[in-house]
Amino acid sequence: MSLPQFKFLRPRTVDEAVGDLAKHAAKVRILAGGTDLIPSMQQKLFEPEYVLDLRRIPGLRGIRSQANAGVEIGAATPLSEIERSSFLQGHYSVLSQAAATVASPLLRNMGTVGGNICLDTRCLWYNQSLTWRKGCGFCIKKDGDLCHVAPGGTKCWAVFSGDTPAALLCLEAEVEIVGPEGVRRMPLAQFYTGIGDNYRKLQPNELLTRVFLPTSSADYHGVYRKLRVRGSIDYPLAGVAVVMKRSNGHVVDARLAITAVNPAPMLVKAASGILAGKMVDDSLAEVVGDLAARTAKPLTTSALTPEYRREMIRVFTKRAVLAAASN
């Protein structure tokens, strides 16, 4: 499987990049680490005329904490840097934990946090070669008009399979988006649409440049749990992130997010209300687990059966809540 031919754009500033995007809008794909884009291009899921490489823009990389303004992470910061940052490990541990579970060490050196947020939704009927997809008659997300996962439907259920966004949702992260109209900032929770084939609110002429973590989210006890068949390499088949702050054994504030079981990573908002003010014990953790499992809508987009994956959301949530409340 060879790469389709394309022209390679290598801007040195964000402005230059936005200019390139404006010029070629619908014909360009953005490359940060390339770990998602390159295999997909080989499979002819994307055959863009231009590929815009962000790696020469120095400002897009790095973790900067600002006094009283939380922390700012450049979108092109490699996941391995996030995994190893002692600052993040200390204050936003759920993020470093989630980053440490992505793929394998080599891929984390390449893959970026921005790429993980923008990760294309995945499906066994979609992430296949052109020849393979001919065999199945194509699907609604690419080249076809039917869904193999929920046949008869017109909605694409391709599943969002990033690890870090679940953690970022718990941390109430915001993302900075730069486009021809200027700079805008939005909560990550509003970034995803929940529709598999149009999964994010990012226009073709826009660029995700930074991620912000607010001070108010710092120093929560965080846990990320990931279901996968192998202990490395695999995308999540279900993921659960929990952050919690306690006082005298009682939960002051807690947030729960799940990933890899819906077309978008999702905050389980009701969990915060259930946990607030309570002592965490097995039965409370079970209740939260059940709640998370009801929010999950896994389908046959991925390996293992949907029912099992939903069940694991329940078990993993229970365990994550208990772990977050221990120590």
Residue entry with tokens 């999702």: 266
Told to check if 1 binds other proteins by CB under 8 A, we report: yes
| Contacting other proteins within 201-230 (CB under 8 A) | 227, 229-230
Told to check if 304 binds other proteins by CB under 8 A, we report: yes
**CA–CA gap between residue 114 and residue 23 (Å, rounded):** 22
Closer residue to other proteins (CB): 68 or 145: 145
Closer residue to other proteins (CB): 53 or 143: 143
- Any alpha helices (H) in the chain, and if so which ranges? 14-24, 37-42, 79-84, 86-91, 93-100, 105-110, 113-118, 130-136, 164-170, 269-275, 282-295, 306-324
Q: Which tokens belong to 177? A: 């988006």
Residue of 128, 209, 262, 295 that binds other proteins (CB under 8 A): 128
| Contacting other proteins within 231-250 (CB under 8 A) | 231-235
Closer residue to other proteins (CB): 62 or 306: 306
Residue of 12, 13, 15, 47 that binds other proteins (CB under 8 A): 47
CB 158 within 8 A of CB 192: no
Closer residue to other proteins (CB): 151 or 249: 151
Cα–Cα distances in angstroms (integers) from residue 222 to residues 63, 66, 98, 245, in the given order: 19, 21, 10, 9
**How far is C-alpha 121 from the chain's CA centre?**
9
Closer residue to other proteins (CB): 84 or 308: 308
CB 261 within 8 A of CB 298: yes
> Quick one: which of 265, 49, 78 has its CA closest to 170?
265
**CA–CA gap between residue 160 and residue 145 (Å, rounded):** 20
Segment interacting with other proteins (CB under 8 A) among 152-160, 209-217, 250-258, 265-273:
152-160
Told to check if 8 binds other proteins by CB under 8 A, we report: no
How big is the site for other proteins, counted in residues (CB under 8 A)? Answer: 47
CB contact set of 136 (below 8 Å; sequence gap of 6+): 125, 128, 148
Q: What is the DSSP letter of 60?
A: G
Told to check if 282 binds other proteins by CB under 8 A, we report: no
Q: Which tokens belong to 171? A: 């941390």
Told to check if 299 binds other proteins by CB under 8 A, we report: yes
Told to check if 146 binds other proteins by CB under 8 A, we report: yes
Segment interacting with other proteins (CB under 8 A) among 29-37, 240-248, 276-284, 294-302:
294-302
Told to check if 38 binds other proteins by CB under 8 A, we report: no
Residue of 69, 106, 186, 303 that binds other proteins (CB under 8 A): 303
Interface with other proteins (CB under 8 A): 1-2, 4-5, 47, 104, 124, 128-129, 131-132, 134-138, 143-146, 148-153, 157, 227, 229-235, 298-300, 303-308, 311-312, 315
